[in-house]
Amino acid sequence: METRSFADYMRGLSDESLAALFANRPDLISPVPSDLSSLSVRANSAPSLARAVDGLNEWQFQVLEACVAINEPMTEKEIISVTDPSAKFVIPHLISLALLYTSRDGIRIPHTLRDVLGNEPAGLGPASMAKLSMKKLEEAPAGSKKILEQLTWGPPRGSVGDIRNPGPGIAWLLKENFLVPLDQRTVVLPRNVAIHLRGGKVHRNPQPNPPVIEGKSVKQSVIDRAAIANIATILRWCEEILNFWSEEPPSALRAGGLGVRDLKSAAEHLGVDENCAAFVSELVYLSGLVVIDADDRVLPTHAFDLWLTQRAEERWRGLSSLWLMTSRVSGLVGRAESKHISALGPELDRVNAASTRKLTLDLLLNSQELCPEINSFLALTKWRAPSRRSPGLQPDLVKWTLREAEWIGITGQGAISKYGAAFIQGEEEIGINIDLPKPVNHILIQSDNTAIAPGRLEIDIARTLDSIADIESRGGATVYRFSETSLRRGLDHGKTGEEIREFLRKTSKTPIPQPLDYLISDVSKRHGRLRVGNTSAYIRCEDPTLISQILSDKRMEILPMRRIAPEVLVCDMDAKEIIVTLRTAGYLPAAESNSGVLLLGPRLNRAKSKPRPPRIIGELETPSEETLAAALRAIRVGEKSSNKQNALREIAANALGALPRTTANETLDLLNKFIAQACTLSIGYADNNGSATHRIVDPLSISAGSLIARDHATGEVQSFRIPRITGVAPL
């Protein structure tokens, strides 16, 4: 086939070439176009070309800019002459992406591509229409040469005070057509003049070779030990933050997301900074383990309870997979220029987040046992994917990805771990369950009211210990501290003092020290003496002296209380607020129901609404082989159908000239005959206004006085009233 246009070029591609094109530009088959003409229109559209250009590395983009800078049609030799000999290896790749295409007279560019790259690619202005003698540049005055030096490498535009009196340097250049006036105050250097002044090259610094990553060498065994510790830590962080929100659910902001105070509180509970807390919050949100319910509370879902029963590797793989593919960027939280961006909020999506993460991990995978130096790593990522749509954010995205990969355990000591490598390569068994230390079932209670967990605790023991003690420090071993507040929390969860002692006796390999035993007895004895319920609210105590003490306590003056009996106070505030105020002042109140029963028991708050993980905004994934094969079949069938319809219309127009004419009886007989023969028909059909149109149909059946047939013009099955059919003729 003779290639006269971009559409002709697309029609001439083989199935293998089309499959390669779709693999590199998946947006072309989302959705699948009806035929090759529609495909060529989409491939030549500005949005599709912009996506394809964003996928080029720095050298491929420079070669493409050089192709746009020279005149069409061009040859491979001409492209190499203005770039570098290695450009000959780039040209086939650009052709496979349909960013260049071959015609009978050379290589050409899709016409929309010039608009996508802008009016001044590589800092070059428009081509001059005048005939120029470059030898005259040697005779240019000193002032003119100075102006040319400023404009040679771009931008090619310059301002003048008045084009009618520009000065001797500019006047000479204008006279010789080495500068072209654009308006009364702007001149531009023509493209062919600039390329000549650049020594026949388009770019000052061609970059055919990628930068080299520098960094510190790390042994793989050290990397893997650090990574498995990070994996254990991230799983513990996720569990702890969900248990924390189960007991004290934060309220979401009106605009959505987690407030600054709640994020800070979560960070203090985990013992990490707010950036890490935001990252952990986003992980559990992506996994559907937490949701913002109808009451605007941030609550764990029932999926969290199922998640706890899974093996460590399954939990880690789920978290890592969602982190790798999401378009949400937790690193945006807390930045000075992102004041209104919050964790779990709707403003965290960035279109190139997932592609940047994938690129970063691929580079780490190719540099094993190396902790990269950040500047050289950023230089390589910029060369591999310049990110032309949002260039300012890419360095931050890379830094955040390196930081988050360390937190999640894909890397250890800054280098890719064997677990991260296996995960990236899609291996079924990563090895986490084997290498992760087995959970321990005991603690060691110290004499200073602390307990040491010498490893990761079993789930039931960890949950009970979290309810009666506070985490003081983390690391290879976790230190818990028992206090009046933590023991009161355990009593609120339904434990009795004796049950707490029994749990510690069974779990601890050291005896319970006497100070801790006394503390448990004292707190359990005082707990529940003071009770708070709702009237608005009341405070009840069987000890009138304690009621009198509260009334005389200056710290309680913020509560509008009134004594209505020796053992009862009433207050206009909510019971929960009263309990918090009393506990802050050192009292140990307990809540009770309207019938006077203590409201004790584990508070495993769960959201009633189903998980609603956030959507993913980003580029399309590379389609599978099955998807590519199905798209090719659909396009080829559509192309055959289009060609057949065009041929049938031409045949009908030439052979019939006018609309077919038959009587009513002849029409019915012919229809029954041709339905049995499955023959394509040409019919005349009258519309509501009485005007007849020409239709080409495949008859299927006759029903209720109508012909049921597939119309070639629309490709749909339609019904045609038989009295309106003016005539029938076979094709």
Q: Are 467 and 489 in contact (CB under 8 A)?
A: yes
Span 1-53, pLDDT tens digits: 455 688 888 888 888 999 999 998 998 988 888 888 888 899 999 989 988 88
Q: Where are the beta strands (DSSP E) in 631-721?
A: 681-686, 692-703, 706-711, 717-721
> What does the DSSP 8-state code read for residue 114?
H
- For residue 634, what are its two tokens? 């659909």
Instruction: State pLDDT tens for residues 279-318.
Output: 999 999 999 999 888 888 888 988 888 898 899 999 999 9
143 contacts 169 by C-beta, under 8 angstroms: yes
Amino acid at 689: N
Q: Residue range 359-388: average pLDDT?
A: 89
pLDDT of amino acid 650 = 59
Structural Rg of the chain based on CA atoms: 38
Query: Is the pLDDT at 586 greater than 50, yes or no?
Result: yes
Q: pLDDT for 495-542, tens place per residue?
A: 888 888 888 999 988 998 888 888 888 888 887 677 776 667 878 888
| Beta strands per DSSP E along 556-622 | 561-565, 568-571, 589-591
Q: Pick the residue with more confidence: 667 or 315?
A: 315
d(CA 456, CA 436): 10
Residue 1 pLDDT = 47
pLDDT at 389: 60
Res 264: pLDDT: 92
The pair of three-digit structure tokens given for residue 246, joined into one six-digit string: 């189960």
Assigned token pair, 62: 């420079």
Residue 158's beta-bridge partner residues? 187
Segments in 73-128 forming alpha helices (H): 76-82, 91-96, 113-117
Within 8 A by CB and 6+ apart from 64, the residues are: 53, 56, 94, 99, 100, 117
User: Does position 598 have pLDDT exceeding 80, yes or no?
Assistant: no
d(CA 415, CA 219): 9
Q: Which residues pair with 598 in a beta bridge?
A: 592
> By C-alpha distance, which of 488, 515, 514, 485 is closest to 500?
488
Mean pLDDT, residues 153-163 taken together = 82
pLDDT at 713: 65
Residues 6+ apart with CB under 8 A from 185: 159, 160, 161, 162, 163
What the block records as the tokens of 303 is 């999926």
Q: How many CA atoms lie within 13 A of 483 on its CB side?
A: 9
User: Over 60: is that where the pLDDT of 698 sits?
Assistant: yes
Check if the beta carbon of residue 69 is closer than 8 Å to that of residue 195.
yes
What are the structure tokens assigned to 100, written together? 């260049």
Amino acid occupying residue 98: A
At 217-252, the pLDDT tens digits run 999 999 999 999 899 889 989 988 998 888 788 888
Q: At 443, list the tokens.
A: 């603690």
pTM of the model: 0.73
Distance CA 160, CA 148 (A): 14
The pLDDT-based confidence of 656 (bands split at 50, 70, 90) is very low
Round to whole Å and give the CA distance between 17 and 24.
Answer: 11
Report the interhelical angle of 459-468 vs 497-507 (nearest 10°).
130
Tens-place pLDDT, residues 642-652: 665 555 555 55
DSSP 619: P
Place of tokens 């770039």: 83
Instruction: Please report, as a single letter, which amino acid is at residue 619.
Output: E
Please check whether residue 74 is in contact with residue 106, taking contact to mean a CB–CB distance below 8 angstroms. yes
| Residues with Cβ within 8 Å of residue 29, at least 6 apart in sequence | 22, 623, 627, 628, 631
For 328-456, list the strands marked E by DSSP. 370-372, 411-412, 415-416, 444-445, 450-453
CB-hemisphere CA count at 13 Å for 78? 15
- Most confident segment among 321-325, 694-698, 703-707: 321-325
For residue 541, the model assigns a pLDDT of 84
According to DSSP, residue 400 is labeled H
Helix or strand or coil: residue 533? strand
| pLDDT the model gives residue 182 | 82
Nearest to 500 by CA among 457, 451, 438: 451
What pLDDT is stored for residue 98 in this prediction? 92
CA 219 from centre of chain = 33
Question: Which candidate, 566, 580, 570, places its Cα nearest to that of 534?
Answer: 570
- What is the spatial distance between Cα 655 and Cα 658, in angstroms, rounded to a whole number? 9
Asked if 286 and 303 count as a contact pair (C-beta separation under 8 A), the reply is: no
Mean pLDDT along residues 404-410: 95
Q: What is the pLDDT of residue 727?
A: 82
Per the structure block, which two tokens stand in for 279? 């990252």
The rounded distance, in Å, linking the Cα atoms of 587 and 318 is: 44
Q: Alpha-carbon distance 57 to 141, whole Å? A: 41
